[in-house]
Amino acid sequence: MAQRVPNVVVIGAGFAGVHVVKQLRKARCNVAIFDRHNYHLFQPLLYQVASAALSPGDIAYPIRRIFRSQANVSVVLGEVQSINLAKKTITVQGLEQDYDFLVIAAGSTHSYFGKDEWAKTAIGLKTIDDALDMRKRMLMAFEEAENELDEVSRRSKLTFVIVGGGPTGVELAGALREIAVKDMQEDFRNIDTSSARVILFDGNDRLIKQFPPSLSQRAKEDLERMGVEVRLNSRVTNVDATGLNIGEERIDAQNIFWAAGVQAAGVSHTLGVELDRAGRVKVLPDLSIPGHPEVFVAGDLASVTDPRTNEPVPGLAPAAMQMGRHIGRILRNQINDGTTLDPANRPAFHYVDKGTLATIGKNRAVADIRGWKFGGFFAWLLWGFVHLMFLVSFRSKVFVMWTWIWNYLFNSRSVRLITGDVHYSVRKVRDVTPSDYHPVPEDVKKDVVVTSA
């Protein structure tokens, strides 16, 4: 009688999930990878879609295309609602799927720290839809300000607030300021786009806390030189449709972007196991769930401490890739060689920190590479090279590199497209006709914000 081939189910086609499946190429098993999208997304560059520098197709790649030559893989489009560890099943679109081995790599979502009603106004940045919504709001703000005569309303439209001073917040703040100062000044007639305010709030005493204090300070100074207002030790107390509050201080802003925190995907709460405060699953050193050696957790969903350093493994793309490869090797060896299910006899996961990078703007970045701390142009080049290498497809590498070169030389973000339904909101609209429309002269453009119709 032929030996039964085990079924491996992988939830999530992010960095961790993809690398698990790749390790199982030569394993004697059937692999099913589930994701609610049909593409793998390179999240570190998502902010560049939001800031009109890249198109969504530049940083996303079809999952089926990734695994088209891996015969033991099936790709299933669907969101996993729940997991039953006792029955060894997952529920997708109301249907149950059995598994012999399970890898949960469903990722994370935005955390509003109990204020989920803020999500409608302060949008986060986790998906392509988020990025396109953010891009639309940003571009519409300039379009509306161009034809807004009410000064208070116009200033609100040209005020961009980013909440959260981690890598995403810092990168987004720098990109928005560059758009206003370098990319769009020649394209509008009635406003000086460089007058737009970009304000970055963070509740900590420094930005990008995963970096050494010296680099955090450098990032802050670089942003301020670009014209970004950086406000530390500032916690948001309220968000509504017209702005936000920092304690008793009120700031009117039409655009509020959230980069302040993340929480684990909701499927973790269906497991019935111990979670940390962010909803991440507390796993054993081999990344399996206690009491369930056939179930592993990877990426942002895993709460794991590196036994070598006794430090938490960070929620970064390199860590997720390493977790995926680690789990994939364990499964491959166990399936092919019949090794033990006992987690105590499996190798523990060790995170290899190869360095951390964050870009701030053109020619500006910070880097901490194994104790070598530096910033500026070389760090910016290194950031670009590393991110290009991590893109999945050769096409993406070429297109992104060419787009970056073009944008660098000509300060031209060509993906300034407003898509979807447009809701134009102007309190006091400018009456512009061909007979009375006159561009603002270049010699006075910097001194006026709006001319009278």
Instruction: List all residues 6 or more positions away from 178 whose beta carbon is below 8 Å from its beta carbon.
Output: 226, 361, 362, 411
Question: Per the residue annotation, which of 144, 171, 178, 294 is the catalytic one?
Answer: 171
Both tokens of 347, joined, read: 């190798």
For Cα atoms 278, 102, 22, give the angle at the middle one, nearest 5 degrees: 100
Active site residue 224: no
CA distance 385 to 381: 6
DSSP assignments along 314-346, one per residue:
PS-HHHHHHHHHHHHHHHHHHHHH-----GGGS
Q: Retrieve residue 403's tokens.
A: 């787009």
Cα distance between residue 31 and residue 126, in whole Å? 26
- Please state, in angstroms and rounded to a whole number, the distance separating the CA atoms of residues 280 and 403: 37
Q: Which candidate, 90, 220, 128, 65, places its Cα nearest to that of 419?
A: 128
User: CA 174, CA 224: separation in Å to the nearest integer?
Assistant: 9
The Cα–Cα gap between 354 and 369 comes to: 6
Q: So which residues are the catalytic ones?
A: 171
